[in-house]
Amino acid sequence: MSPGAGAGLRTFVALFPPLDIAKQSCSRAHELLRSNRVRIVAPERFHLTLCFLGHLELGEPEQVAHEIAESARSCAPFFMNLGAGGVFAGPGGRQILWAGPSQESLQALCTLREAVVGAAERAGAAPAERESAWTPHLTLARAQRQVSGEARREFESSSFGNGPRWSAKEVCVALSGPGLTGPYPLVSRVTLGA
């Protein structure tokens, strides 16, 4: 069975940082949020979503992967580094705590996103989010209730970019959905500039 064939699965296109970078970010988030009741995201699930496509029909994730492979040839690998932390408000007082890309990574990241969105649209899979709604980030933790004001201010003013930069050299088409644990199942890995 194709990875895109499972009922209830959602497709997204993302960059996945190396596991050592994800582990460092986990440790930093835990250190900043230790006095709050939060769930730190498992390092193997860290990713920066370029394009969320939602539920696709059988075979569509593979079509998206094919178009992205074509577009990825025009995008060179680039260095990524994390910048400041941030917080999204969720339903019922929940919060999502995240780290955004550094300013030096942003231009290349936006160029790659444009290529990915164009490829998805050519494959007939329009992004589920509006262009204006995209905030590039890696989710680090989720809180069931609001994080205390002091911890939130410290988190938002912290830089996660003290660790080493990594080379973003591939983009992945991945699946998420209810009951999936561990690393996200991949439809494809596409090397940039190849």
Domain count within the chain: 1
Residue with tokens 């069975």: 1
Please give the full DSSP string across 124-150, using - where no structure is assigned: T---SS-GGG----EEEEEESSPPPHH
Residue 174 has what pLDDT? Answer: 94
Buried b (16+ CB within 10 A) or exposed e, 30-49: eebbeebebebbebebbbbb
Check which CATH number belongs to the domain holding 125 and give it. Answer: 3.90.1140.10
Terminus-to-terminus CA distance in the chain, angstroms?
Answer: 28
- Give per-residue pLDDT as tens, 20-51: 988 988 888 888 777 677 888 999 999 999 99
User: Residues of 54-74 as b/e, b for ≥16 C-beta within 10 angstroms?
Assistant: eebeeebbbbbbebbbebbee
CA dist list (Å): 150 to 36, 95, 137, 141? 11, 15, 22, 17
What range does the domain containing 100 cover? 3-191
Give me the residues paired with residue 168 across strands.
Answer: 78
pLDDT of residue 4: 43
CA distance 14 to 187: 12
Tell me the DSSP string of 70-81.
Answer: HHHTTS--EEE-
pLDDT (tens digit, 9 = 90+) per residue, 72-109?
A: 889 999 999 888 888 888 778 888 989 989 888 999 99
Of 111 and 7, the structure prediction assigns the larger pLDDT to: 111
pLDDT at 168 (0 to 100):
95
Judge whether residue 167 has pLDDT over 90: yes
* pLDDT at 1 exceeding the cut of 60: no
Span 102-123, pLDDT tens digits: 888 999 999 999 999 999 999 9
- Give the model confidence (pLDDT) of 136-157 as tens digits: 999 998 888 778 788 788 878 8
Q: How far is it, in rounded angstroms, from Cα 175 to Cα 173?
A: 7
In the chain, what are the helix, strand and coil shares in percent, each to the nearest 5?
35, 30, 35
Q: Residues 159-166: what's their mean pLDDT?
A: 73
Q: How far is Cα 100 from Cα 104, in angstroms, rounded to an integer?
A: 11
Confidence at 169, pLDDT banded by 50, 70, 90: very high
Please tell me which residue, 57 or 66, carries the higher pLDDT value: 66
Does residue 95 contact residue 143 with C-beta atoms inside 8 Å? yes
Distance of alpha carbon 19 from alpha carbon 129, whole angstroms: 27
Question: What's the pLDDT at 131?
Answer: 64
